[in-house]
Amino acid sequence: MSTTNQLPAILGTLDSLGVPMWLTATRSGKQVPPRGWPTLTAADNRARLGHYGPGMAVCGAVTERWAFVDVDTKAGASIEAAEAWLRGLGVSPWARVSTPSGGAHFYVSGAPGQANYPGETVAKLTGLVGVEVFGGIAPSAHFAFLPGSERPKYPGRGYTVEWEHPELIDADATPLWNALAHAAAERRTGQGSPEEGAKSAKRAGTDTPPPSHPSEGRPRAEAYTRSVVNGEADKLAHAGEGGRNAQLHRSALKLGSGTTLTLDDTITALEAAAGACGLLGDDGRAQVIATITSGWKAGRASPRDTPATNPDSAGVAPDMVTGTPTPAGRPKGMSVMDMALGSGEGGHDTPTQPSDSEPHRRLVFTAASQITPKPTQWVWIDDEEGRLPAGALSLAAGREGTGKSSFGIWLSSQITRGLLPGMWGGIPRNVIYLAVEDSWAQTLVPRLMAAGADLDRVFRVEAVTAEGEESTITLPVDVGDLRAGISQHDVGLVVADPLMSLMSGRIDTHKEADTRRALEPLAKIADQTGAAILGIAHFNKSGGSDINSLITGSGAFKNVPRAVFGFARDEDTGESVMTQGKNSLGRLDLPSLAYRIASTTVRLEDGETDVGRFEFMGTSTTTARDLLRANHDTDTPESTDCAAWLREWATDEGGTLKAKEAKAAARQAGYSIDQTNRAKRKLGMDSKRSGFGKNSEVFWVLPGTDSETPEPHTWHIGGIDGSPRDVPPMPPMAPPMGERPDSAPVPSVLHSADLPGFRAIRHPAAVPESPPEPLDVNGIVPGRVTPTYPKPAPTPAGQLDPDWLLFPGSTTCKECGNDLLTETGSTGRCRAHHQARGAA
């Protein structure tokens, strides 16, 4: 290849090795490679480099015949030490190129089929820092900036060829990868013998064992992890007094959620920084380790999708630089976005450290056709309807003393014996009971015994600190360990009693976003394990009867669970009812269940104890909402007086009152609307509506009233199919123009009752009392008034619907006995009509 346009001659050598090369343009200070650069071939190098000009960079992708070793002096590397190391392995670089940052690239022969080794891995294996080895895998996996490149990041400095020995181009470089692979095999611990690693490598199609570290052989993962560790350590080292412990927890959480570092690695990474900021000296190593442990566990419970944690997915080949997926079969390499963000010496930048508000992540799109639908599995089926779903978070809520915890005990006992109708009927399963308020020895175990539980299948769980101190489980910190315990012990049910007490002190349970950070991981492990998780919750002190709205805390407590059970007890009668307040995966209109807490004596080794035993009594027509409403409507002197007043008035009126009039009269009597409504409910008065739409009215009716509201009169006309239809009769048809209608009895005109507050039964539409004179169209003369029909009496607007009916006794005119029609504003028309008839 000709090296015109001032391009270095070494590019011709690379061209002869089949190295694809291209130019990158500078945009917004960043050098962006062309689209599809991983698929380029060397055949078009001449055409692409022919556009070379000032400010451009030349890039080349590694091939089976060319690889490079990147020595970054900014990271503490020594060029001389790196070169001596290569030659000591028997590897002879054929060129050395100085980089504008003061580092170097050593060009060696390619070694297809071998792994790549980022800086952190090389440092662990050899002790050399800042040295990276790339180019050992499939073609076009990585690229490097080549001599002749100009980069805005390093103005006035370029890539210079220090020396070149073309005769060494084909020198064997495999000892480099073999030495690294051997060192990796020796460092492996807990992953089987080297022979097993060799077998795994052989199955994978390579002769060298895979790296032991989760990120080894994944440059992007190594670079990402190194960046996050350095960034978090720097934040912690510069944290001010008062915010050091919080920063330590945040840093540990971030390392736990976004990297594959173990707890020990995380402690090692942050302990020195904790000492630099003075936290280690002030609080002591034990407290620092406890904080790191807490943060790391919280991170593991809520893992983030990052280049360090993202596993390979089916049909997707992981990009060895970016960690983002590329379609299987497409050559892999550095993404255009990486290049746009600014690349490093070898064309594989260390990614910028993700911020807390914008974590590094990727989006995965899955077609709905690729998702297998599954039916809901029910742990508890009552009368062929599901109540408690498996693989979901549910909630049992109620006021203190209503038996919700006893329900958790009953449910646990049924699960351990395989007695609960549902997916585990006849199959005993284990239960984890997370209790905070009650004593296991004095309360929980005796209750479990009274309920008949298999005590060998009920597990207490406690968290143990690094110092051996026991404490309760904390959400979301211990979610990961809880998930492992569910799987390990074949758990079918987890009861959290009460759920809110298990929340971390850093969670504001009155903020939905905060609460979701604890509840959503809990719901996730339920889905992953198939276990049912039941949280016990309390009602708040507010009034009302809506089960879901009464749950103490943020809205997440009612939004995240898939099922909610409400428990209520009548304070006067002792009646107790459980009502399904939410059932997102099944029917909501399930009948309420009555229950009782029966006193039971349990015999113990040291004596006896009396405990309550939860027992269902069958279905109930009363709901928990009814009891909550009744308990809220407590008797006070004012409400008692209002009820007596309302009963006396309703009795005098025959047992029926207009709701509007009753409320207005109550206000005049000095009673509030709430007092009036409570008095109505106390008397058991029903609300009845007569009519529809704007013309309807609501009545309060005392129990036992015979005629609460009259049934409206309807007009029945046979339909097309012979069935009756409620429609009003048709008005008389108008006669043809010029003709008089046949003489017939004249229907009554519109009348209105003179009784205030009553409406009359409707009547067919009226017609004038005397037929009008016909309109003589031939007699119309310009300038003269055109004769018209007399204006008929007004009729009700719109259709005459049955809702215009009301009380008998106000439907006829007192003067003539004619039926009265309803019409707004027509009061007094009857009297005016008779006066007109008398004058005639």
What are the pLDDT digits (tens) for 348-375? 333 333 344 444 567 888 889 888 898 9
Locate 5 and state its tokens. 């346009």
Residues 151-162 have pLDDT tens digits of 877 888 889 999
Residues 369-383 have pLDDT tens digits of 888 898 999 999 998
Identify any residues that bridge with 766 across adjacent strands, giving them in sequence order.
none
For the segment 710-715, the average pLDDT, to the nearest whole number, is 39
For the whole prediction, is pTM greater than 0.85? no
Give the per-residue pLDDT at 460.
Answer: 94
Give the per-residue pLDDT at 744.
Answer: 46
User: Does the pLDDT at position 385 exceed 80?
Assistant: yes
DSSP string, 706-754: S-SSPPPP--EEE-TTS-EEE-PPPPPPPPPTT-PPPP-PPPP-----S
Residues 456-482 have pLDDT tens digits of 999 999 888 767 778 888 888 888 889
User: Does the pLDDT at position 1 exceed 70?
Assistant: no
User: Does the pLDDT at position 745 exceed 70?
Assistant: no
User: Does the pLDDT at position 190 exceed 70?
Assistant: no
Report d(CA 797, CA 467) in Å as an integer. 85
Report d(CA 228, CA 224) in Å as an integer. 6
Q: Which residues contact 336 (CB under 8 A, 6 or more apart)?
A: 32, 33, 35, 37
For the segment 654-661, the average pLDDT, to the nearest whole number, is 88
In the chain, the amino acid numbered 796 is P
Are 697 and 710 within 8 A, CB to CB? no
3-state secondary structure at position 563: strand
Residue 616 Cα to chain centre, angstroms: 34
Identify any residues that bridge with 398 across adjacent strands, giving them in sequence order.
538, 567
User: Does the pLDDT at position 820 exceed 90?
Assistant: no
* 298-314 as b/e: b if 16+ CB within 10 A: bbbbbbbbbbbbbeeee
For the segment 185-214, the average pLDDT, to the nearest whole number, is 45
| Mean pLDDT, all residues of the chain | 74
Report d(CA 826, CA 763) in Å as an integer. 14
Give the per-residue pLDDT at 524.
Answer: 93
User: Does the pLDDT at position 133 exceed 60?
Assistant: yes
For the segment 759-777, the average pLDDT, to the nearest whole number, is 44
Crossing angle of helices 659-669 and 673-683, rounded to 10°: 120
Report d(CA 214, CA 9) in Å as an integer. 41
Q: What is the bridge-based pairing of β-strands 576-583 and 160-164? A: unpaired
Q: What is the bridge-based pairing of β-strands 393-398 and 563-569? A: parallel
Are 66 and 17 within 8 A, CB to CB? yes
Residue 412 Cα to chain centre, angstroms: 28
In the chain, the amino acid numbered 312 is D
742 class by beta-carbon count within 10 Å (0-12 exposed, 13-18 middle, 19+ buried):
exposed
Q: Which residues contact 637 (CB under 8 A, 6 or more apart)?
A: none
Report d(CA 122, CA 61) in Å as an integer. 22
- Helix/strand number for the chain, H first, E second: 22, 29
Give the per-residue pLDDT at 797.
Answer: 39
pLDDT-derived band at 395 (thresholds 50, 70, 90) equals very high
Give the per-residue pLDDT at 574.
Answer: 82
Q: Please tell me the least confidently modeled range out of 387-401, 485-499, 824-838.
A: 824-838
Angle (CA) 155-159-160 rounded to 5° is: 125
- Report which of 115, 97, 121 is spatially closest to residue 177, judged by C-alpha positions: 115
From residue 365, give the alpha-carbon distance in Å to each of 257, 360, 369, 787.
22, 17, 12, 78
Give the per-residue pLDDT at 322.
Answer: 29
Give the per-residue pLDDT at 421.
Answer: 94
Residues 275-315 have pLDDT tens digits of 778 887 777 788 888 889 888 888 888 787 777 666 443 23
CA dihedral 755, 758, 763, 765 (to 10 degrees): 90
Report d(CA 822, CA 751) in Å as an integer. 8
Are 379 and 526 within 8 A, CB to CB? no
- Report which of 765, 729, 761 is spatially closest to residue 750, judged by C-alpha positions: 765
The region that residue 823 occupies, defined by phi over 0 for left and psi between -120 and 50 for alpha, beta otherwise, is beta
| H or E element, residue 827 | none
pLDDT-derived band at 827 (thresholds 50, 70, 90) equals very low
Using the 8-state DSSP alphabet, how is residue 503 labeled?
Answer: B
Report d(CA 324, CA 319) in Å as an integer. 5
Identify any residues that bridge with 491 across adjacent strands, giving them in sequence order.
430
In the chain, the amino acid numbered 697 is E
User: Does the pLDDT at position 617 exceed 50?
Assistant: yes
User: Does the pLDDT at position 732 exceed 60?
Assistant: no
